[in-house]
Structure 1
């Protein structure tokens, strides 16, 4: 699930940022002649955003690094930006993510009508769920528009966790707005409601072991002396603290560059409770065609991440712009990664822009990763989540944007400002592949 949310949310935010940041750059000019101060945002704007995501693969972490990763997700979002006065803007965005997942359905593979199998989705209650979030941001700009600060807060909820977030940023522009420096921070306080694989619940604090109804109804094949290594998590909180610094500089009439440094510290329950582990030195036990878990994922309760990246945007001519990006990432779990991407907006007249793009990603494996039945039972930490494995990935994208700064087309009292449609295709060398279609429509309320 983590990969899907990263791709889906970033794509949706990318659509929003194309509109909002461009509008902000156009309107965050300093005080005009004769003392007239232009408003940061002239009118209330509404963005209707949505995405449809699908993926498939054969390394599901829920079933210990093997089994179907098939998943589909639909995410509608609405973003409302309201000018409170000439200097202040309140932005509220809210969205839901409704998904069906063959992988998570196998948290309980025995609750469907068919034969339990890691490569087949169960039709039971765990096959789908809804994630919901709401976020509010307050932004204030100084009279000369050279100082901007923001404060934000967010809430998010899904069937197995609840999250509260808050943060802010401070931006300073120098050198006639050719230089920009931003410091931003975010804190997330999450609470898990741990959901464990169905067969392990019988071995929890109040479980009946092999006398549980699951084992009374079904015969264990393979090793009949099933005895998993399992204890329920006592720490159900996860806290994340992020601090970032961004520096942007206009280098010439055609060239703009930026540098970013981000630091994240996490502590608490960083393991995913429903992800199974199968040990190489433990005999296999099955019910039907589904292998019973030997344990669940165990990861350290702290993690420290550092990322350093840079962007270069070069204006070739009225038709073509080149946008390059690179990021290096490192954490104390042993993962190092490199990301490089190139986008070339192609402007067709005054209203249409095409966005072909390519992104390459590569990472090393976490110290605690091993595939299906490759861990040993005496290890302290273990995961078979392929998001933490060594892999390379390619992403190809294409988008089209329509912008009408005069907002001539109206729907009721809404004036259409822009439409953005994009498609991303993602492929890992481990076999996972996915597709994402995202749509953003921006309206102005005069």
Structure 2
């Protein structure tokens, strides 16, 4: 399954000084009490261009994710945050890493899920972070760690951030850097593993793929993020951002098949056997940059807009634009409709099924690297209890969030996601 790596951002908070009647200055805590966020999401997708089966096959996938985030004050200036989560998925696409262990009464097909071990997996992650604010709350620095593990992939990360506020906190400049050191446990398509034999193979000649296993099993990622945020007026706030991302190592996905146009086709029932797996360069450089503009149109409406341009040295250029309009319907409830548009060009190494030839150095049939447009529509609702009157043990309910999003891509992929979040604060 294609893993999509998510970028992290700094959490910035600031408070002012206050003075009592005796002129004794005191400093307010950055975080007054322990806060707990509980997050849950349900994701479902389907499509017809599974990369596991060379760009032709079911992309059906279901993922359930839950996370617990605990923010704890340490003295007046420091906050320790621990984010722990688990994600469990079931994928008809990845089940076809080995399509031969399905129901023996059904034909072997890229559109029929098998029932083997590759059908499901569990990803667990742990992200601890520490943040320190200066006495005047104009300087914030932090460090963050990351560790995650699943059956065929292990990731270890470390990052740091620095934020400086100027101009009576109307201007904010921040920088962050992260390193991820990842390791594959490669899972190759069953027909490309040593000793494979099946007397059901049909085709002209003898099945002899051009495959060789990957020697390098590491993937390293390095990123630098820069951000400038500015209050432009009483009702307008804007920000600009830029990221620099460099990757090296095994950037191919070991279980994604490729079929060549200059090789004979071989099948077991309806399932075509791989000529090779995708081969991509062992380096990649990415540069996304863009901005946000928030307009507080009235006490009831806020307009949040976003634009990002992305480019990399694999030939992909993309544009992302989104708008969200939170509408305050009461002191407790806010609804926020949203829309997002995305478009990208194809990578230099993308080929549809049986278009690439075996003499090429690099090739993939992963439609995530193809040219496509995408539309995402969503609606959310937030409940905010300013008095935290509802209690669970000694924690008061702060907010409840529910969001629904529909995503449609021009290559036939569609998905639906439901996310739910609840925030609690200690008394």
Structure 2 residue aligned with 1:93: 83
2: CA distance between counterparts of 1:441 and 1:374?
A: 49
Question: How is 1:251-266 mapped onto 2 (pairs within 5 angstroms)?
Answer: 251-266=232-247
- In the TM superposition, residue 116 of structure 1 has moved relative to its aligned partner by 1.2
Question: How is 1:114-125 mapped onto 2 (pairs within 5 angstroms)?
Answer: 114-125=106-117
Question: How is 1:342-357 mapped onto 2 (pairs within 5 angstroms)?
Answer: 342-357=323-338
Q: What SS does the aligned partner of 1:199 have?
A: helix
Question: How is 1:221-260 mapped onto 2 (pairs within 5 angstroms)?
Answer: 221-260=202-241
TM-score, scaled relative to structure 1: 0.92
Structure 1 residue aligned with 2:118: 126
1: CA distance between counterparts of 2:177 and 2:17?
A: 29
Gapped runs of 5+ residues in structure 1? 203-207
1: CA distance between counterparts of 2:33 and 2:335?
A: 27
The yes-or-no answer on 1:191 pairing with 2:183 is: yes
Change (3 A) 1:122 1:224: farther
1: CA distance between counterparts of 2:186 and 2:113?
A: 21
2: CA distance between counterparts of 1:116 and 1:445?
A: 55
Gapped runs of 5+ residues in structure 2? none
Would the aligned equivalents of 1:31 and 1:143 in 2 still touch at CA under 8 Å? no
Matched residue count: 421
Would the aligned equivalents of 1:319 and 1:347 in 2 still touch at CA under 8 Å? yes
The yes-or-no answer on 1:310 pairing with 2:291 is: yes
Deviates more, 1:66-75 or 1:401-410: 401-410
The yes-or-no answer on 1:31 pairing with 2:17 is: yes
Structure 2 residue aligned with 1:296: 277
- In the TM superposition, residue 2 of structure 1 has moved relative to its aligned partner by 3.5
- In the TM superposition, residue 115 of structure 1 has moved relative to its aligned partner by 2.1
Structure 2 residue aligned with 1:54: 44
2: CA distance between counterparts of 1:228 and 1:35?
A: 76
Structure 1 residue aligned with 2:418: 437
TM-score, scaled relative to structure 2: 0.96
- In the TM superposition, residue 223 of structure 1 has moved relative to its aligned partner by 2.6
- In the TM superposition, residue 411 of structure 1 has moved relative to its aligned partner by 1.5
1: CA distance between counterparts of 2:38 and 2:16?
A: 30
Would the aligned equivalents of 1:408 and 1:415 in 2 still touch at CA under 8 Å? yes
Write 1 or 2 for the structure with the bigger share of helix: 1
Structure 1 residue aligned with 2:143: 151
Would the aligned equivalents of 1:248 and 1:256 in 2 still touch at CA under 8 Å? yes
1: CA distance between counterparts of 2:386 and 2:152?
A: 43
Structure 2 residue aligned with 1:40: 30
1: CA distance between counterparts of 2:93 and 2:230?
A: 45
2: CA distance between counterparts of 1:90 and 1:81?
A: 6
CA deviation map 1:280-317 (0-9, x unaligned)? 11110011211000000000000000011100000000
RMSD: 1.4
Q: What SS does the aligned partner of 2:36 have?
A: strand
1: CA distance between counterparts of 2:337 and 2:326?
A: 7
CA deviation map 1:219-258 (0-9, x unaligned)? 2112341110111100000000000100000000010000
Structure 2 residue aligned with 1:326: 307
Runs of 4+ in 1 over 6 A off after TM superposition: none
